[in-house]
Amino acid sequence: MAVSPTAEEEADIRIGMDRRVAESELPGAVVLERDPGEEVQRFEPVVRAMEEVVPRVEVVAPGTVLIDITGALRYYGGVEVVVDKLLEAVAATGDEPGVGGGGGSGEPWRVCRVGVADSPFAAGIAARTANTTPHIVTDTPRYLAGLDLGVMADADRTELVDTFRWLGINTLGEVADLPRDVIASRFGPVGLETHRLASGEDRATDPRPIPTELAVESRFEEPLVDLDSVAFVSRQLAARLIESLTGEGLSIHQVLVEMTRSDGVTRTRTWRSIDPLTERSLSDRIWWQLRAWLDETPDDVDPTSPIGITRIRIDPSRVSGEGRQLSFWEDTTSMIETERALGRAQALVGPDRVVVGHPEGGRLPAERVGWQRWGEPPPPVQRDPDAPWPGATPSPVPTLVPPRPQPVAMEWDEGMPVRIRMGSRWETVLSWSGPWRLMGRWWNREGTADRYQVVTSAGAVLCVVWEGKTYLAGIYD
Amino acid sequence: MTQSTTLTSIDGILSLPDTPYDIGPLGLQRGRISELVGPAGMGLTRIGLGMLVETSRRAPVVLVDVRGWASPGAAWEAGIDPDRLVVVRCPETASWSSVTAALVGGVGALFAEVPAGVGSAGLRRLAAMARARGSGVVLRPLTGELPGGVSHTRIKGMGVTWEGPHQGHGRLMRRRLIIEVSGRGVGGMTRRFELEDDGEDRLSVVPVLATGSTRRTDVG
């Protein structure tokens, strides 16, 4: 549910509220399907007005912008002056027909929520909590430290926040005070990102130089005038850009979209995302922006030669190597989605149960695997897997290996296995190989054991006979 | 015993390096659930691991281990890189549906053991998620079969024959697996295949039984 400030005041309606609940609160409300493209189109004059005051405006989503005001502070002489200028510019757009928001009320505070801080994350929270006056944060670390953990509770972090609360951690400052390596170990990538944000660090912590000639561009002899063609070209350009950046091992966080119209007008707009842009999300943003520009062409155009787009250029203006391990995760989108999925699994079953195996040396199948938690660096190898290991159980490796050998009933006849109990049934032994002697550490009073590969009509198993008892060490399933 | 003459066109159907992602009833299929039915020892885990190999070349794959008996060594032997196999241990039936749902939303291929007692609603939701996300899912119920309509293809272990050991001599070398494939993935027919497992990284179809459509069924 997306609502206007006016409706919000008239009834107890909040963004994100279920449609039915909102309708019950405000029965006369007209429900429209959300159209991000139209939102961008209606937001475009607002962005352009702000760009008249401060040139570097980055669009995060329709209705939300980030502005680096470092240079503007020197030019205008103070934060308050810059903010006032921006608000006046936005309020002026309220007089334009078709621009959502102000309605020319002359009260920009009702339209804009402004937060000023040292980092985009802190500024975003300050803006969300600002009401009638801009929220200017002078000490960002202290501001973040005092915030309740609830500001983090988005879709990906709900369980994490619940866990923190259960542990008695209720503010971002308390999260930031925890050792980062412990957080990373216990909560994985989501926990690490949360710790960074709570510490006042932006998520793009690994900025990389932008390789030359990674921008993608298309020129059209016949101007693009219909929206379907523009959508198609948007998808193509997004795919080309993502593919080239993936080849460089980079993720993209910010792009400059540039368009030239057939009447010679050129427009540029920066789009920014905290999470790396995927092909889909990038393609959507390009499409929304081009649609907004295409729709604002003058009305008095000769219908026989409509104004269209003759050139589109997409320039990556911020990239990072964050989360990129090309030898492992070769696909950008799958990398992010897989990390999130495994992070959720870790939250559900615990970090000790989401694991990755690595080869170790040993003679029994269970010994030949070392385990590490997913997301953590592999520990040093305990037993060299490339060493000869004479007497090791030959391949194939059993597909099912109990953590410890399980007692199993086996009948013998003059030293030869005859029957083995598989579940509730006795299976006749059809053939077997062994025994292969396994020398124990005599100094540790381990004695010796014999291994057998036993074949029945129900399959084959690996058994270990030790001190007269038979144990199941693996099933060849 | 059947003469082991492999058919070139379908040889290595489960592990050929250039095999396309959608290869038919014995390959992992995007957005579909393949079901492996039968007791331990019938080679079904090996078949399931073989289904993950192709996807693991591009992205990590996940094995949901209910019993705690999963053996990464066998997966590595089948051709999955150690770095690309993540094992999620989930012995609790109560959380199984939540865990697998979370994983299907983000991984390209998933092989999950299904504990007894998982409700059909959870399984159908998983099938819907796999369809929506385009994930390939292999389910191995530890008891019985999945409810109808969940799996697209059901692979049932019918028999296994090992070669190699003989009265104490030799060792396990290779095996023949008899499987019966049914469900929508094979057009509602039931087909019987014989597979040869060379004991290391190769599964191939033995042609003698491969063409034998037996009867029409409504499984799945």
> All domains of chain B, ordered by start, with CATH?
33-216 (3.40.50.300)
pLDDT of A342 reads 86
- Taking CA–CA distances from B61, the nearest residue in chain A reads A338
* Least confident stretch, A144-158, A321-335, A375-389: A321-335
pLDDT of A6 reads 55
pLDDT at A127 over 60: yes
Which pLDDT band holds residue A402 (cuts at 50, 70, 90)? very high
Which pLDDT band holds residue A73 (cuts at 50, 70, 90)? confident
pLDDT of A101 reads 39
Integer-rounded Cα Rg, in Å, for chain A is 32
pLDDT of A99 reads 43
- Taking CA–CA distances from B42, the nearest residue in chain A reads A477
Secondary structure string (H, E, C) spanning A428-455: EEEEEEEEEEEECCHHHCCCEEEEEEEE
* Cis amide linkage into residue A435, ω under 30° from 0: yes
Cβ-defined contact of B165 to A455 (cutoff 8 Å): yes
DSSP string of B97-109?
HHHHHHHHTT-SE
End-to-end CA distance of chain B: 32
pLDDT of A48 reads 84
Mean pLDDT of the A28-47 span: 79
The interface predicted TM-score of the complex, written ipTM, equals 0.86
Say whether A208 sits in a helix, a strand or coil.
strand
> Across the strands, what pairs with A431?
A455
pTM of the model: 0.53
User: Nearest-CA distance from B179 to chain A in Å?
Assistant: 13
pLDDT of A326 reads 38
pLDDT of A206 reads 41
Whether B197 and B45 have beta carbons less than 8 Å apart is answered as no
Share of residues in chain B with pLDDT > 70 (%): 81
Strand segments (E) across A166-212: 207-208
Cβ-defined contact of B69 to A400 (cutoff 8 Å): yes
Whether B173 and A476 have beta carbons less than 8 Å apart is answered as no
Residues of chain B with pLDDT under 70: 1-26, 201, 207-220
Backbone torsions φ then ψ of B157, nearest 5 degrees: -75, 125
pLDDT of A190 reads 78
> All domains of chain A, ordered by start, with CATH?
1-33 (no CATH), 35-112 (no CATH), 208-297+307-320 (3.30.1490.100), 406-476 (no CATH)
pLDDT at A441 over 80: no
* Least confident stretch, A90-99, A209-218, B102-111, B206-215: B206-215
Chain A residue numbers with beta carbons less than 8 Å from the beta carbon of B90 are 349, 353
User: Nearest-CA distance from B75 to chain A in Å?
Assistant: 8
Mean pLDDT of the A411-424 span: 90
pLDDT of B19 reads 34
Chain A residue numbers with beta carbons less than 8 Å from the beta carbon of B104 are 341
Share of residues in chain A with pLDDT > 70 (%): 82
Close Cβ partners of A326 (under 8 Å, ≥ 6 residues apart): A249
B174 or A374: which leads in pLDDT: B174
> Across the strands, what pairs with A456?
A429, A459
* Least confident stretch, A287-296, A364-373, B56-65: A287-296
pLDDT at A243 over 80: no
The mean pLDDT value of chain A amounts to 79
What's the pLDDT tens digit per position in A336-367? 678 778 878 888 888 889 999 999 998 889 98
> Can you say whether residue B146 is alpha, beta or left, with left for phi > 0 and alpha for psi between -120 and 50 degrees?
beta
Say whether A21 sits in a helix, a strand or coil.
helix
